[in-house]
């Protein structure tokens, strides 16, 4: 676990998206190529009637996994851009009945997106893929897959 990265995410969430802070995401791994976020299944994230993670909590996990790579690159390189997710598409395969790991391995595509944005000066978009797994119950088998369109604009 990366406690420094977890603290960074939670501090940012406290100032910008308090609901994200409320669900207490943990950063398992983050690099320029890959990010893994863990959202715990607990009273804050569970749908009581089916004892599985709530759709909204899963979407927030996908948002953080895809966005943290971009946030890290922009912050480290002091790149003058702003970024948002333009849309999200999710497919749900199984119930998430324990802590969910959200994995994004599109760091190379995000780096290319930032380069294109800086070179062109125009808004650029790229689809970022996030896979959600529940390793404690299903190993690497996905419980959901998300596609988020990352939109980046030079400031």
pLDDT digits (tens, 9 = 90+) for 40-88: 999 999 998 999 999 999 999 999 999 999 999 998 888 889 999 999 9
16-20, 124-128, 136-140, 145-149: the lowest-pLDDT one? 16-20
What pLDDT does residue 51 have?
92
The confidence score (pLDDT) of residue 2 equals: 72
pLDDT at residue 127 is higher than 80? yes
**Rg of the chain, C-alpha, whole Å:** 15
Kindly tell me if the per-residue pLDDT of 15 is higher than 80. no
Cα separation, 19 vs 121, whole angstroms: 33
Structure tokens at 97: 């009945």
Tell me the pLDDT of the chain averaged across its residues: 93
Name residues whose C-beta falls within 8 Å of residue 140's C-beta, 6 or more positions apart in sequence: 133
Fold for 3-154, please state it.
Answer: Thiol Ester Dehydrase; Chain A (3.10.129)
pLDDT of residue 103: 99
Mean pLDDT on 129-152: 97
Report the half-sphere exposure of 12 (CA within 13 A, side-chain side): 13
pLDDT band of 1, cuts 50, 70, 90: low
Average pLDDT of the segment spanning 109-137: 96
Average pLDDT over every residue of 87-110: 97
The confidence score (pLDDT) of residue 14 equals 73
CA distance readout (Å), 126 to 59, 66, 117: 18, 11, 11
- What's the average model confidence in pLDDT over 116-130? 95
Q: Which residue has the tokens 């802070």?
A: 21
Query: Percent of the chain at pLDDT above 70?
Result: 99
């Amino acid at each position: 676990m990366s406690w420094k990265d977890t603290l960074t995410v939670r501090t940012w969430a406290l100032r910008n998206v308090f609901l994200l802070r409320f669900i207490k995401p943990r950063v398992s791994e983050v690099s320029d190529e890959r990010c893994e976020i863990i959202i715990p299944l607990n009273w804050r994230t569970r749908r009581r009637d089916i004892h599985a993670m709530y759709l909204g909590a899963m979407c927030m996990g996908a948002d953080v996994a895809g966005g943290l790579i971009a946030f890290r690159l922009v912050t480290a390189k002091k790149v003058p851009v702003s970024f948002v997710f333009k849309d999200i598409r999710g497919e749900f395969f199984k119930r998430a009945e324990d802590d969910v790991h959200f994995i994004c391995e599109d760091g190379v595509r995000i780096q290319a997106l930032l380069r294109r944005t800086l070179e062109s000066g125009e808004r650029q978009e790229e689809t970022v893929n996030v896979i959600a797994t529940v390793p404690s119950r299903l190993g690497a088998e996905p419980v959901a897959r998300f596609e988020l369109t990352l939109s980046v604009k030079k400031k």
